[in-house]
Amino acid sequence: MQPIRLALVGIGKIARDQHLPAIAADAGFTLVAGVSRNARLEGVAHFADLAGLLASGLPVDAVSLCTPPQGRHLVAAQALAAGWHVMLEKPPGVTLAEVQGLQPGNRTLYASWHSRAAAGVAPARVWLAGRRIVSARIMWREDIRRWHPGQDWILASGGMGVFDPGINALSILTEILPAPVEVVAARLAVPANRASPIAAWLTLAFGAVDITAEFDFLHTGQQQWDIVIETTDGHLALRNGGAELAINGIAQPLVDGGEYPALYRRFAALIAAGQSDCDLAPLALVTEALARGETITVSPFDF
């Protein structure tokens, strides 16, 4: 079978750190174009925007969108209208409506959630199936200056602030729990000079069980991306964004093939099967928290 001719749109941190190596290592794809206002990729055609790529007539089968979430649905709609398959970085958009409005027709629309491909997530889901959960806690604490230097879009309207990494925790949670989760309460700390939260505290309900979640973007020192779940039959800890799994304090052996290689294998499989995969459960929790949360204004933030 011929490799899928792919254009990468938005050449920023995640495109360089993860997408380019994963695409290069996957025989199912061949990178034919980069679409970026600023960056150029050696050895492939360059276009400043999707309109330029469309006008060029270059044969393309699929696009992978690595731009910030604001406006991503417009690019996705343009690509689908061109007859291209579309892979969306997380979060798939700013609102549910804008993503639900995308019409893939007979093309593939794939809303990727990279943290769901972390090595501990699938085994955690298997271990939890059939067990009774009594409590759960999410602790997602990282230093925005270290991981997102200068990314003003994150704290702008639609950037989701601390939920940009925090939605990864919610993508794992909604993957490993056997039933839906709801937002009960939310507190959001928004810097006086920004539009999106720099910290947030959620109470979520999983049936009668309360789940607490703390998201902190100003955390220096030991970085933490942990989910801890107590059941009547033992204790599960997913740490380091799902890369590590411990059951009753014992580290579990895991097979780690990498998150982004798994995403591209999934994208290729969806294209081959003529299917789409657009689970919006994590985005629904974030939009609910942002809409209903009590906002506290905190000190201005500058990078």
Under rule CB under 6 A, residue 64 binds ligand NAP: no
Count the site residues for ligand NAP by CB under 6 A.
21
- Closest approach, Cβ 245 to ligand NAP, in A, equals 20
Q: How many residues does the chain have?
A: 303
* Closest CB to ligand NAP among residues 163, 206: 163
Residues of span 67-96 touching ligand NAP by CB under 6 A: 67-69, 89-90
Q: By CB under 6 A, is residue 164 in contact with ligand NAP?
A: yes
- Residue tagged active-site, from 72, 73, 85, 90: 90
Q: Report which DSSP code applies to 16.
A: I
Token pair of 222 as six digits: 């030991």
Q: Phi and psi dihedrals of 193, rounded to 5?
A: -100, 15
Q: In angstroms, what is the minimal distance from the CB of 157 to ligand NAP?
A: 12
Nearer to ligand NAP, 210 or 277 (CB): 277
Kindly report the CA angle at 268 between 85 and 14, in degrees rounded to 5?
75
Rama region for 130: left / alpha / beta (φ>0; ψ in -120 to 50; rest): left
CB-based contact 110:264 (threshold 8 Å): no
Give the separation between CA 121 and CA 28, rounded to whole angstroms: 25
In the stretch 193-212, what mask flags binding to ligand NAP with x, by CB under 6 A? --------------------
Instruction: Judge whether 227 and 240 are in contact, CB under 8 Å.
Output: no
- What whole-number distance in Å separates Cα of residue 11 and Cα of residue 20? 9
Smallest gap from Cβ 274 to ligand NAP, in A, equals: 26
Sole binder of ligand NAP in the list 6, 7, 8, 10 (CB under 6 A) = 10
Q: How far is the CB of 159 from ligand NAP (least distance, A)?
A: 9
Q: 117: which DSSP letter?
A: G
Question: Does 19 interact with ligand NAP (rule: CB under 6 A)?
Answer: no
Looking at the Cβ atoms of 12 and 104, the one nearer to ligand NAP is 12
Identify whether 13 is a catalytic site residue: no
SS3 85: strand
Q: For the window 20-49, what string marks contact with ligand NAP as x by the rule CB under 6 A?
A: ----------------xxxx----------
By CB under 6 A, name the one of 14, 54, 243, 281 that touches ligand NAP. 14
Residue 296 token pair = 């506290």
CB of 91 to ligand NAP, least distance (A): 6
The answer to whether the CB of 268 falls within 8 A of the CB of 111 is no
Cβ–Cβ under 8 Å, residues 233 and 160: no
Taking each helix axis from N to C end, the angle separating 121-128 and 163-176, rounded to the nearest 10 degrees, works out to 40
β-strand pairing of 85-88 with 62-65: parallel
Tell me the per-residue interface mask from 116 to 155 with ligand NAP, x by CB under 6 A, - otherwise. -------------------------------x---x-x--
Residue numbers of the site for ligand NAP (CB under 6 A)?
10-15, 36-39, 66-69, 89-90, 114, 147, 151, 153, 164
Q: Which residues are designated catalytic?
A: 90
